[in-house]
Structure 1
Amino acid sequence: MNKVTVIVPIYNVENYVRKCFDSLLNQTYNDFVVFAVNDGSPANEQVIIDEYVAKFPEKFVGIQKENGGYGSVLEMAIQKCETPYFLVCDPDDYLADDAIQHLVDLAELSEADITIGAKYFIYSDGEDKDYDAAYNTNFTTLKTNSVYNKGSAEFDNLFYIDPSPHSKLYRKEVAKNIKFLHKVGYTDNLLFYMSLLNAKKVVYTDKACAYYLVDRAGNTMTDIRPKALDAHIEVFKEIVKQAQDLKPCDMFYYRMFESYKFILYQTPRMNGTVEEYSEKLDHLYELVESLIPYRNAISPLYKKYAKGGFLEKYRDMQLLKERSSANTFKTIKQKMIENFKVKE
């Protein structure tokens, strides 16, 4: 019986998907099945999917569906999979030959709900690769091949992990009840944060198991459309909303506030008009509003970890106070729009 389902969400990646599929065929581990999910792609990936299904029917399952976005693929595939574990391999990325073997061995040895590995960044213009530990090393150091138990202080460090799907093996149980948004990007954040909140044990390895193409046109790393910014905001609002029944630790809320700040500082990259930019900033403030009730959880950790200067820290604390929040964000918004106009 297969132990792992590899979910490959496919949309407009015709030039990359063969390399992804071949990396799965080259795995040293064999007890897995591939869900090759065509999410209504306008390109010709279905011909490639059909080819691999015909050649390797014991390994590849081809699934066609109407376009619903990345989240709709994850939702459908997680519910459909019959294996105890799954991992997501984006079709413009690929896995190291022993990736699944290494992740499964660690998961079974530790009884972990999530097994997380490092990765390599790769680029479309050459053979260079850069090692990435898959977490923010400026704030913490994770111990390789060590088990992190929920409720421990060390477990909080896992919220510094990059939420992208690369090199992550999930036990199906921790993800099966996640409600994924459709027709938006960044839903891999929903998968990671909600699964982490559900997990009792997590294990990390510094072995790079995946190769992540970071500069493909159209992926979330390069998408600067107003629609992409809206999606980023909406996903984090949804994470905060769905987390309420799980009684998250204080570190969760602090990381959600830092996610707001990350999005804020990414907004000037948006390709749009000043009017659109103003609308997106208003949308972003909705995320801030959802975090105001958790100011007492966020504040001590913010004071401990935040890297900004005094004025920035003072402003952020005012932003989380119900009485001063709206006026504080109004000041932030005015400054951001002034800078955006200069760029325009």
Structure 2
Amino acid sequence: MKNNQISISIIVPVYNVESYLEKCFNSVLSQKFTKWEMIVVNDCSPDNSQNIIDEYALKDSRIISIINEQNKGLGGARNIGLKYCKGQYIMFLDSDDFISDNSVLEQLYSQGLAYDLDVLDSRYNMLENDSVKAILPNKFKMLNEKSYTGKEYLDLVSIMPIVAWNKLYKRTFIEKHNITFKERKYEDICFTLECLFKANKIQNTEVIFYNYIVRPGSIMTSKPNKSSIEDAWSLCKDLESLYLNLNRNSQIEKSFFYSFVSISKLLSGYDNEEHKSEIISKLKRIHRKYRLQILSANKLGVKQKILLYLSPQLMSFVLNKVK
């Protein structure tokens, strides 16, 4: 397929998910819309994934197989994929997830093209044991009657999925701003917030196209270790930089302050006491630095402000009790 015929580039990082690959790939191959390329990045997967990738690549020339020389994680694998993209729009699809019915790529591309969007945002299905556990986010104000700037959109949407994969992105927009993923866990939060903030035109859509599978052993369900705690702290510092450099945007502010709570939650299940004490000390210092700003945060409710002002650990405890 010629470059000018590729409408959507789909980046699929692969690591140790051989039992999910066929469903993931078939969900793309079944699309009526044909002007796509799927860039599959094998991130040094130790299982049979590459054999499955090779089988599909032989059947369909739109599937491009790339093998990393060393494991780079989700963020690094996606960054590699970004270097190979030729489509007008980019979608990120995790290899243990899948997209919905066979018309969604056409619907998404048509909306992106019609309004010349930098980003198209959507809700998504969360699946557990082959059934829909939830459609997230629960509160997602539909604003797709017109386009918004990223700053307007961040202010208008009350609850937002800060993930990379439930969206469509204009390739030239990402390239212009040189937006890339962090090469660590929690890699897509800063990428997503930066894309949303810098977008000139953004909409959301009623099309729920992405199916996120909750599975044992994934990053989201695994027990915290030293690496994941350090990555969470790095995320907190990266969010602080975004908050300070992007006009202290209220949605980024909320994400930054909530990172205090996320670290506290991880620490509650962490058993390396020496390292735990070190991170708690860092968390206390950054909490003291921004404690007063918490009380004026626009995107936090009164109860959230009070709990977080008093202690991130207290807020984490209360949130767990509510669940």
Which TM-score bucket, shorter chain as reference?
0.7 to 0.9
1:17 aligns with 2:21: yes
Query: How far apart, in 2, do the equivalents of 1:306 and 1:259 lie?
Result: 18
Q: Distance in 2 between matches of 1:63 and 1:151?
A: 33
> Normalising to structure 1: TM-score of the pair?
0.79
2:99 equivalent in structure 1: 95
Could you say which residue in structure 2 is the equivalent of 1:315? 310
Partner of 2:127: 122
Q: How far, CA to CA, are the matches of 1:248 and 1:154 in structure 2?
A: 15
Amino acid at match of 1:216: P
What is the CA–CA distance in structure 2 between the aligned matches of 1:73 and 1:144, rounded to whole Å?
32
Q: Structure 1's 248 and 196: CA in aligned 2 closer, same or farther, altered over 3 A?
A: farther
Cα RMSD, aligned residues only: 3.0
Offset from partner CA, 1:247-296 (integer Å, 9 cap, x none): 352332233112322332343133x232232233345457647x73x965
Aligned to 1:106: 111
Shift of the 175–288 alpha-carbon distance from structure 1 to 2, 3 Å rule, reads: farther
- Which one of the candidate residues 74, 77, 83 is aligned to 2:78? 74
Q: Which amino acid aligns with 1:173?
A: T
Gaps of 5+ in 1: 317-328, 337-344
> Is residue 2:61 matched to residue 1:62?
no
Return 5+ residue gaps in structure 2 as ranges. Answer: 317-323
Matches within 5 A, 1:204-283: 204-242=204-242, 244-270=244-270, 272-283=271-282
The Cα shift of 1:19 comes to 1.0
TM-score for the superposition, normalised by structure 2: 0.83
2:319 is aligned to none
Query: How far is 1:76 from its partner?
Result: 1.9
| Helix, strand or coil at the partner of 2:219 | coil
Q: Which residue in the other structure is 1:165 paired with?
A: 164
Contact 1:175/1:194 (<8 A) preserved: no
Structure 1 residue 301 corresponds to structure 2 residue 317: no
Quote the residue 2:174 is aligned against.
175
Report sequence identity in percent.
23
Deviation of 1:224 (Å): 2.6
Q: How many residues align?
A: 309
